[in-house]
Every structure is written in structure tokens, then in C-alpha cells.
């Protein structure tokens, strides 16, 4: 059983957070969910069944955590983490993850990206964060938006060392597709 922080910010993509949490809970992992103020608003708009924000002892490095995923991660929160600003619980928990050398996955969501976004991503990547924009895989021919969301969430969990059924595996063969 792993203990994972899921941070949700005000970027579009609450469905991804919902899928990450559902897959973690289905496998029996412990989830500490935190939403930013804007994240709560966007989530209420995008999801029919919003999650409750649960505040926990995650602002301290002494609280053992196996990994953190910010999904979706806004450019605002990305910039704050890259600058060491810890004025929200999500930013503080991410800061702690970096200082304690714990896995930190940022599912950054914005397009197109400006130079500031790119520099912040590069900086955090150099300091150990995994920059993981929600880019879908199409080689396994997903038929629904739900399938795309689940697979994208599963890839983020794989980065935290958690394998789930939804993880898309390419078996190396094109099958009935002309090569």
C-alpha cells in the first residue's frame, strides 16, 4: 500500500484527477487529496461528482509520503513551485517532495506554451520533478474519452511506481494494420 498526495489546481482536466484517485483507491492505496481554490471551482464545473478536499499533515517533511501527483497542474502552480513559493498546501507539499527527494509528477496543462512555462518545466525537471503533460496514446485505439482519461492517468501512476489495469501496453506488433 502506498500513500500518495493528489493535488488538483485550477487548470482544466479534473477528470484526470478523478481517474488517478479512483485507480489508486481501487488498488487500496491511501490518497491525500488537496484542491486549490481555483481548482475547486473548475472541478465543480467539470465534474458531476466533485471530491471533498481533505487537508492532512502533508505540509511537513516528517509525514511519510511515497509520491505526489499534481493533476491537472496549472501554469500558476508550476511557476510557484519553480520559484520556491509555498503559500498554498499544494505548493508546500510539492516543495517538501523535492527537498525530501520523493517522486513528484506534474501533469501540466496548458497550450500553447510560452517561454516562461517551458523554462519553469525545465527547471523543475532538473530538480527531479517529472513533467508529464496529459498527452494521450492512440496506438491502442481508445474508443471513448473515458478510456483516454484512464490511460493517461495510469501513465502518471506508473511513473509513481504504481501499475494499474488501464496502463496502455504496446505489444510491439501492428496486428492487422498494414506496415
Q: Which residue ranges make up the site for ligand FMN (CB under 6 A)?
A: 9-12, 36, 38-39, 42, 74-77, 88, 109-110
CB under 8 Å, gap of 24 or more: what pairs does 51-60 form? Answer: 51/17, 51/18, 51/21, 55/89, 56/32, 58/5, 58/32, 58/34, 58/89, 58/93, 58/96, 59/89, 59/92, 59/93, 59/96, 60/96
In angstroms, give the least distance from the CB of 8 to ligand FMN: 8
- Per-residue cell: 171: 505489444
**Looking at beta carbons only, is 6 or 162 nearer to ligand FMN?**
6
Residue 179 contacts by C-beta under 8 Å, 6 or more apart in sequence? none
Q: Which residue is nearest to ligand FMN (CB)?
A: 10
**Looking at beta carbons only, is 117 or 158 nearer to ligand FMN?**
117
In angstroms, give the least distance from the CB of 175 to ligand FMN: 35
In angstroms, give the least distance from the CB of 118 to ligand FMN: 13
In angstroms, give the least distance from the CB of 85 to ligand FMN: 11
**Looking at beta carbons only, is 148 or 162 nearer to ligand FMN?**
148
**Looking at beta carbons only, is 74 or 164 nearer to ligand FMN?**
74
Amino acid at each position: 500500500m502506498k500513500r500518495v498526495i493528489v493535488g488538483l489546481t485550477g487548470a482544466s482536466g479534473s477528470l484526470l484527477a478523478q481517474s488517478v484517485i479512483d485507480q489508486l483507491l481501487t488498488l487500496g492505496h491511501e490518497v491525500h487529496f488537496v484542491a486549490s481554490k481555483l481548482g475547486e471551482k473548475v472541478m465543480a464545473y467539470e465534474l458531476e461528482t466533485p471530491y471533498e478536499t481533505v487537508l492532512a499533515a502533508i505540509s511537513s517533511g516528517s509525514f511519510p509520503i511515497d509520491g505526489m501527483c499534481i493533476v491537472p497542474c496549472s501554469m500558476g502552480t508550476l511557476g510557484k513551485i519553480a520559484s520556491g513559493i509555498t503559500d498554498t498546501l499544494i505548493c508546500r507539499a510539492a516543495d517538501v517532495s523535492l527537498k525530501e527527494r520523493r517522486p513528484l509528477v506534474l501533469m501540466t496543462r496548458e497550450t500553447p506554451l510560452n517561454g516562461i512555462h517551458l523554462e519553469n518545466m525545465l527547471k523543475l525537471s532538473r530538480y527531479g520533478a517529472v513533467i508529464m503533460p496529459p498527452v494521450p496514446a492512440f496506438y491502442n485505439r481508445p474508443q471513448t474519452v473515458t478510456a483516454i482519461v484512464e490511460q493517461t492517468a495510469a501513465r502518471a501512476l506508473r511513473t509513481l511506481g504504481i501499475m494499474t489495469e488501464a496502463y496502455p501496453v504496446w505489444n510491439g506488433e501492428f496486428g492487422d494494420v498494414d506496415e
